[in-house]
Structure 1
């Protein structure tokens, strides 16, 4: 078969573009799954770290409660003095229960996504990554080329353009060389002569130009589908830019909040240091040191939540930039 007008080549290119587009779509699905697993994993780590801090708070509260009870038993204080501490301890216990519940839910979701039984899912607490102070000065537009969804849209455009080429080539004669095996030697120019001597070649020569209505319709459809693919691609690019802008803004905002929170935690620790120094000097009781530690631990808990939010936003930004997808 002689593909003079490139119809077959265009059809193959169109099919190849579709194959590549579908491969990119499968990669996008894989990336979405990987991103979801990563976000859940670090959410679990955040809750695990929060659980540790809440346990430390509960320990300090129990120290204060024990001291208050001893003072009450010795007739130094009234029974009312320890009520607030008891209430706060109950709140902390409730927070611990809430965190434990969240961790179990996350474990169940991770098991579903990774196809593991919840019992076989062994997660160990690890330190959360440090918060980067700021994003790079430049996030180049070319980074979007790593997005699998844009690659899929790109290949659909390429496929649609090749489909147009194939539809255009269909207007020209389609030559089957096998039909000429019993014919005399022919030249390319002979194929388009309509002399009686060459009438026999019609078995191997189709002239679809006589079916121009159908061919024009096919070409119009191919052009319309190509325009739709191009429109979808352009829309996907705009949405991708917006995704990156939103994610980057969120990461930057949370980085600034983390910096502010870190300063608050340092100030709270200085208060603890002063209380510890006064205790070492015999000026205050040990329960007063515990009272100073609790606010500092509360701020540490707030810091962990902010750190977890920054980490989650960073994972989303990585996904918006393609997650390292390579064509």
Structure 2
């Protein structure tokens, strides 16, 4: 071989282009594989209890309560929420990144102009121009050089690198839109839950006030009987204890109401008018979700949809990182005027133009391209792993909330039986009072258990409403993912 090169039968530099091409094609090494993404269409979801079966909530699900007061509160919160405003700006930033990526894939034309005043060196390459010899065309040593014109360049996206960047930016934009829907869901569900919590405690406080009124009536009647000599003794201690316990419950309800009202005011914005709610009847317990939850879960939960779009964006980023290993071809051109003297700048003879086709192939970059590929692949796998985790948590979230709805529905059925029995006993007492068999104090005593059971009923009803709202939130609150062309990755 030494003699072969020595005799110069084939010059060694002939192999240089082939070496560069082969090294460029085989540059990628030790790339980690993509991890598997959970196929939610094949996912086995828990059986949803019967009490949680009906239909999917609509995107404006809170209007199903038919409560104009609530609708106005949600509308105001969605309009003025600071958290929604933050996510909205993130959407705008993502949209701007798409435009930037699209612009990077197109041709670019610049206009440039410069003016230079310089003194030529007599000892340099341009030494003759330092002389003042008009016959030779030199008027040195000072010159005022001017240049102006157009320059254009365009990169041929043969390997899809720029297109992959655009798809990645589009995926992030879609993810941010889904995050905006998630923010709107969190705000609306929080306002609705706070509203019904307030209504629950308002109803509970009124029931406790009625209960205290009955206890006070009983105590008053007992004292009158004692003063009239009908009874020989009176025990004020037990009555005082019962009233104190009721007062304690009333104070707890009032404190809870103040806290809930402050939280609601914060959700609406501190500059919003003070909220004064009118008491309304609590919604009746009803069914709320279908019995089968399969692939639909993906489209109904905005957080899962956002995670899915982040995966799409990351896979496009991997495609772009792969394409960076291949040659890039750039087309450049210029049309400009250049003159050593400003007086000659606008002459046709000062015009110059040209076109350049350039090829760049990475040969040795100290591992930069492989490091970049490793980063984007790891980020992509992180997105997939996060999505897989979110899917498991989403299914578990739905199952737990549905189970809670079922449990509260069962408890409510039992409580209704107790309440009906208490109502029946109270009705008998009223009948006995109407015919003079018992006194009004005895009727009041018969009403005490009824009011106590009504208070338990109100609490159960409030807990069920909160559980139902959390269940609606768990399935996405009626969110519908936008139909967007799927990006395929090889």
What is the Cα deviation at residue 141 of structure 1?
4.2
Whether 2:444 is the aligned partner of 1:290: answer yes
Higher relative contact order (CA 8 A, sep 6+): 1
Indicate whether 1:167 and 2:283 are aligned: no
Pick one of 203, 228, 238 that aligns with 1:49: 203
Q: Report Cα offsets for 1:185-237 as digits up to 9, x if no partner.
A: xxxxxxxxxxxxxxx99852221355483222222222111111111110111
Please name the residue that 2:188 is paired with.
34
1:253–1:143 CA distance, 2 compared to 1 (3 A): same
Unaligned runs of 5+ in 2: 1-153, 336-353, 482-490
* 2:253 is equivalent to residue 93 of structure 1: no
The residue aligned with 1:184 is none
Question: Which of 285, 290, 309 is the matching residue for 2:463?
Answer: 309
Q: Compared with structure 1, are the counterparts of its residues 176 and 18 closer, same or farther at alpha carbon in structure 2 (3 Å cutoff)?
A: same
**SS of residue paired to 1:177:** strand
Structure 2 partner of 1:149: 303
Residues 1:71 and 2:203 aligned together: no
What CA distance in whole angstroms lies between the structure 2 residues aligned with 1:98 and 1:229? 46
**Which of the numbers 250, 254, 263 marks the counterpart of 2:408?**
254
Q: Secondary structure at the match of 1:80?
A: coil
Per-residue deviation, 1:144 = 3.8
SS at match of 1:122: coil
Q: Structure 1 residue 33: deviation in Å?
A: 2.4
Q: Which residue of 2 aligns with 1:103?
A: 257
Alignment of 1:141-290 (within 5 A): 141-179=295-333, 204-208=358-362, 210-211=364-365, 213-290=367-444
- Given that 1:72 and 1:79 are in contact with CA atoms closer than 8 Å, whether structure 2 keeps it comes out as yes
> What's the counterpart of residue 64 of structure 2?
none
Aligned partners of 2:327 and 2:362 also within 8 Å: yes
Residues in 1 aligned to 2:157 and 2:306: alpha-carbon distance in whole angstroms: 28
Identify if the C-alpha distance between structure 1 residues 119 and 162 changes in structure 2 by more than 3 Å, giving closer, same or farther.
Answer: closer
Q: What is the alpha-carbon distance in structure 2 between the residues aligned to residue 117 and residue 6 of structure 1?
A: 51
Query: What is the RMSD of the two structures over their aligned residues, measured on CA atoms?
Result: 2.3
- TM-superposed CA distance for 1:79, in Å, is 4.1
> Cα–Cα, structure 1 residues 166 and 123, in superposed 2: closer, same or farther, change >3 Å?
same
SS in 2 for 1:120: coil
Task: For residue 31 of structure 1, report the CA deviation from its aligned partner.
Answer: 2.0
Conserved 8 A contact 1:33-1:113: yes
| Cα distance, 1:163 vs structure 2 | 0.6
Find the aligned partners of 1:89 and 1:21 in 2 and give their Cα distance: 57
- Residue 302 of structure 1 and its aligned partner are, at CA, apart by 0.4
Separation in structure 1 between the aligned mates of residue 396 and residue 211 of structure 2, nearest angstrom = 42
Closer/same/farther in 2, CA of residues 120 and 94 from structure 1, 3 Å limit: same
Deviation string, structure 1 residues 9-63 (Cα, Å, up to 9, x no partner): 0001001111222232233233222222222111111100101111111221122
Q: Report the secondary structure of 2:332's partner residue.
A: helix
Q: Report SS of the residue matched to 1:261.
A: helix
Extract unaligned runs of 5+ from structure 1.
182-199
Cα distance change on mapping 1:289 and 1:270 into 2, 3 Å = same
Check conservation: 1:180, 1:204, Cα contact below 8 A. no
Greater percentage in strand: 2
Deviation at 1:119, TM superposition (A): 6.8
Per-residue CA deviations over 1:135-171 (Å, capped at 9, x if unaligned) read 5433444134221211111111000100111111112
Q: Which residue of 2 is the match for residue 24 of structure 1?
A: 178
TM-score in terms of structure 2 length: 0.60
CA displacement at 1:180 relative to structure 2: 10
Separation in 2, partners of 1:206, 1:180: 20
In structure 2, do the counterparts of structure 1 residues 149 and 310 end up closer, same or farther at CA, with 3 Å as the change threshold? Answer: same
